[in-house]
Copies of this chain bind each other. A is one copy, B any other.
């Protein structure tokens, strides 16, 4: 799974995922237009991605993402979104600029930086007083995603009784805030209490109290196992 992939190929993969999502299928020309390159460049990128098992590709047939490709694309798009939200929501760049900068930077920063930027955006949006914000940054940032850290997984995959630290929450500033209202912010410690038999709701313990959360929402919360 150590798909070590260049910035350029990351960009192709991300674009392909976006086009497929928008139109159902990605053609060479669409990709070329979107990335402002010529078609032969796309063809050779596709061959390269296929060689790495990230897409299924046959001549003249539409591109399909493999499972691994879809996963990689999701990670990249998550980084992109988090960065764009930061540049737009916090640094107040306009949408186009924020997107452009995110697109350049997304291939060079790791999950740790992303988590912390999200945490920062969230904290700035939520904190009552700036002294508290500073203290929050001092205390929380160092605990988010330390070193190699345990594997990251979505909250809904946590098993009963397991404890975890919240790493990343949602994909939009709006989503982040919604979760923050429940106390689910990057850095928070929580424990899975159990799940309803028919799958709709999860019950988690957070700072002493219990709360329920929809499984579908929980899938957007990334946590790391502790202890």
Contact = CB atoms under 8 A, between A and B. Distances in A.
29 contacts: A87-B113, A90-B120, A91-B113, A91-B116, A91-B117, A91-B120, A91-B141, A92-B116, A92-B138, A92-B141, A92-B142, A93-B113, A93-B116, A101-B108, A101-B109, A101-B110, A105-B105, A105-B108, A105-B109, A124-B124, A124-B133, A124-B134, A124-B137, A128-B129, A128-B130, A128-B131, A129-B130, A130-B130, A130-B132
Contacts of A110: 101
Interface in A89-111: 90-93, 97, 101, 104-105, 108-110
| Nearest 6 A/B pairs, CB to CB | A92-B141, A104-B108, A91-B116, A127-B130, A130-B130, A92-B142
Interface of A: 87, 90-93, 97, 101, 104-105, 108-110, 112-113, 116-117, 120, 124-125, 127-134, 137-138, 141-142
Contacts of A129: 128-130
A97 B116 CA distance: 13
A119 to B, nearest CB: 9
A5 B132 CA distance: 43
A114 to B, nearest CB: 10
